[in-house]
Chain A
Amino acid sequence: MGKTKTEKSGFSFSAILRNQLFIPIAALLLLALFNLIMDPSFYAIRLGENADGFKVLSGNLISILDMGSELAILAIGMTLVTAATGGQDISVGATIAIAGSVILRVVCGGEQSVTEYKAPIIVALIIAIVVSMIFGAFNGMLVAIFNIQPMVATLILFTAGRSIAAWINNNTLPVVNVKSFGVFGNYIPGFPIPTPFIIAMICVLLIFLVLRFTTIGLYTQAVGINENSSRLNGINPIFIKFLTFVILGICVAVAALIKVSRISTINYSVVAKDIEMDAILAVALGGNALSGGKFNMTASIIGAYVIQFLTTTLYKFKVQSDALPAYKAVVVILLVVLSAPVVREKLTQLGAKMKANKKEVS
């Protein structure tokens, strides 16, 4: 679904340029190369013990996979929303605060600090997912039924979300002092790979199964490209748009679980701050048109990890982290320029010329 096919003719410069995976992979390679030149030890991976005495993997690459998980999960939902509605949900950070708050509210049963679960974690997760889906549905309703611009519609929760999150827990910041609560944000005892990455990969697997065994890929793209035609072909565009927001809601709840598990508590005003911009950037970095239509899920997910790669690289080289947005801005500019049809056309021509020259030589 939405996969860009490489042409069967095999290696061809212009075909690679046209491939949607080109941009995120090129960005990834560029970053990888930079690190390789600057400090090859960046890639060292060690198997050591964590504080609980279990063997775990560590190193920058592992950190990237670990820390980029929430973003990758969000990118899944954001890609679908973007494809179907031609707009983006800017409330995901705020709704992560809500979902995280719900998880803590259920697990702690309203107490400030607990040493045992007041309710099973799975119950907390399910309730959080339901709540997130409802908030997703709220966004979806505004967009699909009332035809409000997605950015404008989600502005409501963007502004109100963190307060709702605080309200859910009576404005307290519950702390879960149960070892097993940290499993989702750290390691499963005895398993050396960070749990967030495993969760992210499960989500990725699930979405690919969904794309494979349902027609949601085709429908979202069709609705995003031409709503009229889609309707005349029996698709219900309202439902599809609505559905994408609800799916994003599920992604939000899962991301929230990881976030609160990482530190066993929450801070409503800063948790997942500005993550919506990163999620949108991931979609764009994946070469997907932010105006909707065709999408490539793989590219978005790679895009998410590219952003984390950039972040980790900047931390590694001790670039002041408040300068991070500036670097992201540079990426966005490059991206916009690269994906502009004019530039692509020129690049393709350049590729054709190079190929022609090569032939003459050989």
Chain B
Amino acid sequence: MKKKFLGVALSVAMVASLLAGCGSSSDDSAATEAPATDATEAPAADGADATDAPAADEGNAASGDLIKVGIINNDPNESGYRTANVEDLKAKFTEANGYQASFAYSLKNEEQIASAQKMIQDGVDYLLLSAADTSGWDGVLKDAKDNGTKVILFDRTIDADESLYEASIVSDMNKEGETAVNWLADQKLDEYKIIHIQGVMGSAAQKGRSKALDDKVAAESTWSIVAQQTAEWNADKAQQIVQSVIDSKEKFNVIYAENDDMAKGAVAALDKANISHGVGKDVIVMGYDCNKWALEELLNQNWNYDGQCNPFQAQYIDEVIKKLEAGETIEEKTIVMDEKGFDATTITQDDVDTYGI
């Protein structure tokens, strides 16, 4: 009996692991449903394999007047933001739009660099890069220049000379923070007692979003921080942080969370303690990233504000490439995207559908 059970369990386990393994390799060629399958292989140790080789090969065979782009991105599984970002790129850079695209995903800089080198060797026309780390890219970008591959950075900047890339399409995290803090100031509360839940310390998003608030708190006497802690983008930790403040019976009226997950965790703690939140309630809840579900919370007036971190860079990149192909030059290399902040009192279902990720 034991033996049988063991045998069955083992074989099931083997099959499961095989499926998980096969899933990624077999489905990769079908670029349309790639987000799911790429996810399974992205963090795997071998970075070179992460390059979507089949697509590139097909490109060689069928490339007529298609523009070959190699896209190096972070793991789509990193966050909802990244998922939306990857989907947006996949939707834009299709053969129908005149592109032959190959993709590589990794959260590790060295794996990304390896993929980039491979793409350059494969002779892509454009290298689109969202680097995991800001440093270490000079060599690769020089190679790219020598090979005539043009580089466009998106989402993240790197420490390299401006001459090495054509354009850099970024979000301005400082501006995001300022937009949000200005909105908060507009609420004209008599007193601001804020629980500030930060993202992973040192990340660009955390720095930008924290800075605006820190500056404002330092400047205004009616603004104060009740608690300022990092929850490392984690809902669970955010819940604990807010719970701890509640347990200490400290008063607060604003939750400023640097992403939606953490805002959700904070709200869970509020609900437990029966502290009302949302439009016209005791506590103002603010989040970032515009997840669809978060915008729905706004729509239901459970939350008050959500700041956008625009993941839809494909359109901007497309425009840059079109300009370059047409022989124009890019005047301002750093292109800052438009980013919105949504207010629960004005948000519409349309906004949710359009901007929700």
Contacts and interface: CB of A to CB of B under 8 A. Distances in A.
Whether A and B touch directly in their complex, counting CB atoms under 8 A apart, is answered as yes
Interface of A: 41, 44, 48-53, 56, 58-60, 62-63, 67, 112-113, 133-135, 137-138, 141, 159-160, 162-164, 166-167, 170-173, 175, 177, 182, 185-187, 236, 239, 242, 246, 259, 262-263, 265, 267-273, 311-312, 315-316, 318, 320-322
Given A159-B43, A263-B239, A322-B201, A171 B35 contact: yes
Contacts of B246: 58
Given A187-B272, A315-B244, A163 B43 contact: yes
Contact of B234 (A53, A236, A246, A273): A273
B313 interface: no
A58 B42 contact: no
A51 B246 CA distance: 14
A265 to B, nearest CB: 7
A134 B247 contact: no
B264 interface: yes
B174 to A, nearest CB: 22
Contact of B270 (A51, A137, A311): A51
Contact of B268 (A112, A177, A263): A263
Interface in B266-317: 268, 270-276, 291-293, 296
A330 B57 CA distance: 53
Contacts of B41: 163
Given A48-B274, A160-B43, A321 B237 contact: yes
A270 B261 contact: yes
B35 A50 contact: no
A63 B232 contact: no
Interface in B80-102: 80, 83
B45 interface: yes
Contacts of B271: 50-52, 186
Interface residues of B, number: 64
B244 to A, nearest CB: 4
A141 B240 contact: no
Contact of A59 (B6, B76, B247): B247
17 contacts: A48-B273, A51-B274, A51-B276, A60-B244, A63-B240, A113-B292, A134-B9, A138-B13, A163-B43, A166-B76, A167-B20, A170-B36, A186-B271, A239-B2, A262-B235, A320-B229, A321-B231
Interface in B8-63: 9-10, 12-14, 16-17, 20, 23, 35-37, 39-45
Given A239-B6, A311-B240, A171 B16 contact: no
Contact of A163 (B77, B249, B275): B77
B349 interface: no
Contacts of A318: 227-229
Contact of B293 (A160, A175, A268): A175
B239 to A, nearest CB: 7
A196 B132 CA distance: 37
B230 interface: yes
Interface of B: 2, 6, 9-10, 12-14, 16-17, 20, 23, 35-37, 39-45, 75-80, 83, 201, 227-237, 239-241, 243-244, 246-249, 261, 264-265, 268, 270-276, 291-293, 296
Contacts of A271: 234, 236
A114 to B, nearest CB: 11
A312 B78 contact: no
Contacts of A185: 268
Contacts of B227: 318
Contact of B9 (A133, A166, A177, A270): A133
A167 B244 contact: no
Contact of B236 (A182, A259, A315): A259
Contact of B13 (A141, A172, A263): A141
Contacts of A182: 268
A246 B6 CA distance: 11
B234 A267 contact: yes
B80 A173 contact: yes
Given A267-B235, A270-B234, A311-B240, A167 B44 contact: no
B266 to A, nearest CB: 10
A236 B95 CA distance: 59
A164 B20 contact: yes
A170 B244 CA distance: 35
Contacts of B236: 259, 262-263, 270-272
Contacts of A167: 20, 23, 36-37, 39-40
Nearest to A259: B236
Contacts of A112: 292-293
Given A50-B272, A172-B83, A267-B261, A63 B13 contact: no
Contacts of B231: 321
Contacts of B78: 269
A60 B247 contact: yes
Given A167-B20, A167-B39, A315 B240 contact: yes
Given A262-B239, A263-B235, A162 B77 contact: yes
B316 to A, nearest CB: 23
A171 B265 contact: no
Contacts of A141: 10, 13
B244 A316 contact: yes
A58 B269 CA distance: 11
A335 to B, nearest CB: 23
A230 to B, nearest CB: 16
B272 A58 contact: yes
Contacts of A270: 232-236, 261
Nearest to B107: A269
Given A63-B240, A186-B271, 17 more contacts: A51-B274, A53-B274, A63-B243, A134-B9, A137-B9, A137-B12, A163-B41, A166-B77, A171-B36, A187-B272, A239-B6, A259-B236, A262-B239, A263-B261, A270-B234, A271-B234, A315-B243
Contacts of B244: 60, 63, 312, 315-316
A141 B13 CA distance: 9
Most chain B CB within 10 A, of A48, A173, A273, is at A173
Contact of A63 (B6, B35, B247): B247
B112 to A, nearest CB: 17
Contacts of A268: 77
Contacts of A137: 9-10, 12-13
B24 to A, nearest CB: 8
A44 B68 CA distance: 65
B35 A170 contact: yes
A320 B234 CA distance: 15
B10 A263 contact: no
